[in-house]
């Protein structure tokens, strides 16, 4: 079964062809980062318009890359939410209409389900059940995953998401947008132990997170210190260590609480090297294994949407002819 996947929830336009036996056959991502960089964040209206410009050529490209023609497509999966509603509408309209024109089953996929299942695009796939740490620009979630659609949220961020905290702090440091990866790169030149930031909400029980205070801690330190490159790198180091340590502490707690032995790391912050190293060490202590997608599949991409869509289409699920775009959509409402 050939599934066309479409992702337009935020600032990446992406299309993919995934085959049920042969795997990923075509995949393209167009990033709008340059378009939004000068505004210091994603401008929703510009994002929607750019998705309109890019989506059809990208779909044509992945069909060609897969060596098929469009009449061979057996199903369409598009991101139906959560995300920017105008951006989502572009992928939803194109996906639903194409499904109708090709007369194939079509499904609106939950963006976070896509992220959660992204490690399944790799050779070393986790089996159910597992604990998932989903860390993106919009979400920080600890989830007990028992099956496709079996998602129990154990903890989440009460304010900024981990990626958002990285981005806001990077912006304060003049590192552009989205600055998570740039901040992580700067931290590599930093020295340990010069600054120490708190590990929020780790001194009380529970699995929720709060990252907004760390951005303020970084800001006050920045303002009270000389602005040489080494100091900036040392602040980046302390910030990154505080975020990653906090995530690792909560992961350990969740593993103890659930008794799970497999941990999946997904979402854009999952590309962070320190996070991967820390959680690898954690899983060793738990005699378990950690799974994560390659960095390209950590951030937004249509391969994960095609994969998630294939699982649901193969189970006989598909949508009616309505075009669905849902800006706010809880993962735990899925079945």
Is position 106 an interface residue for Zn ion (rule: CB under 5 A)?
no
CB 215 within 8 A of CB 259: no
166 binds ligand KG4 (CB under 6 A): yes
How does DSSP classify residue 204?
Answer: S
d(CA 75, CA 84): 24
Region of 71-79, 169-177, 289-297, 299-307 interacting with Zn ion (CB under 5 A): 299-307
Q: Please identify which residue in 106, 136, 221, 246 interacts with ligand KG4, judged by CB under 6 A.
A: 136
CA–CA separation, 110 vs 99, rounded Å? 18
DSSP H helical segments within 189-333, as ranges? Answer: 212-224, 229-258, 273-285, 295-298, 302-314
Partner from Zn ion, ligand KG4, none contacting 184, C-beta within 5 to 8 A by type: ligand KG4
Cα separation, 17 vs 28, in Å, equals 10
**């390209």: which residue's tokens?**
296
Taking the C-alpha atoms of residue 201 and residue 211, their distance in angstroms, rounded to an integer, is: 9
Which does residue 163 touch among Zn ion, ligand KG4, none (CB within 5 to 8 A, set by kind)? Answer: ligand KG4
Quick check: 178 binds ligand KG4 (CB under 6 A)?
yes
Work out the angle between the directed axes of helices 229-258 and 162-172 (0-180°, nearest 10).
170
Which one of residues 300, 301, 305, 325 is an interface residue with Zn ion (CB under 5 A)?
300
- Mask: binding to Zn ion, 129-168, rule CB under 5 A, as x and -? -------x--------------------------------
State yes or no: residue 272 binds ligand KG4 (CB under 6 A): yes
What part of residues 179-208 is at the interface with ligand KG4 (CB under 6 A)? 180-181, 184
Which residues of the chain form contacts with ligand KG4 (CB under 6 A)? 10, 136-138, 163, 166-167, 178, 180-181, 184, 267-269, 271-272, 299-300
């Amino acid at each position: 079964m050939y599934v066309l996947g479409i992702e337009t929830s935020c600032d990446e336009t992406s299309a993919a062809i995934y085959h049920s036996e042969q795997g990923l056959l075509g995949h393209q991502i167009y990033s709008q980062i340059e378009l939004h960089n000068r505004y210091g964040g994603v401008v929703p209206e510009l994002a929607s318009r750019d998705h309109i410009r890019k989506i059809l050529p990208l779909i044509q490209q992945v069909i060609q890359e897969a060596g098929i023609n469009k009449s061979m497509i057996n199903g369409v999966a598009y991101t139906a939410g959560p995300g920017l509603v105008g951006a989502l509408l572009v992928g939803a309209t194109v996906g639903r209409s194409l499904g109708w024109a090709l007369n194939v089953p079509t499904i609106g996929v939950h963006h976070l389900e896509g992220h959660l299942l992204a490690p399944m695009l790799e050779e070393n796939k986790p089996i159910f059940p597992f604990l998932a740490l989903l860390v993106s620009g919009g979400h920080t979630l600890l989830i007990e995953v028992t099956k496709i659609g079996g998602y129990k949220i154990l903890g989440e961020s009460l304010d900024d998401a981990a990626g958002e905290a990285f981005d806001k702090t990077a912006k304060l440091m003049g590192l552009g947008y989205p600055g998570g990866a740039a901040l992580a790169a700067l931290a590599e030149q930093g020295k340990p132990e010069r600054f120490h930031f708190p590990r929020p909400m780790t001194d009380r029980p529970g699995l929720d997170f709060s990252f907004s205070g760390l951005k303020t801690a970084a800001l006050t330190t920045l303002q009270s210190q000389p602005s040489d490159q080494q100091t900036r790198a040392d602040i980046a180091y302390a910030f990154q260590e505080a975020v990653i340590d906090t995530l690792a502490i909560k992961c350990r707690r969740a593993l103890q609480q659930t008794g799970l032995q497999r941990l999946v790391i997904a979402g854009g912050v999952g590309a962070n090297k320190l996070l991967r190293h820390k959680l690898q060490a954690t899983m060793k202590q738990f005699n378990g294994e950690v799974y994560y997608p390659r960095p390209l599949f950590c951030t937004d991409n249509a391969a994960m949407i095609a994969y998630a869509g294939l699982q649901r289409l193969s189970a006989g699920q598909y949508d009616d002819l309505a075009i669905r775009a849902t800006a706010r959509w809880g993962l735990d409402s899925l079945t």
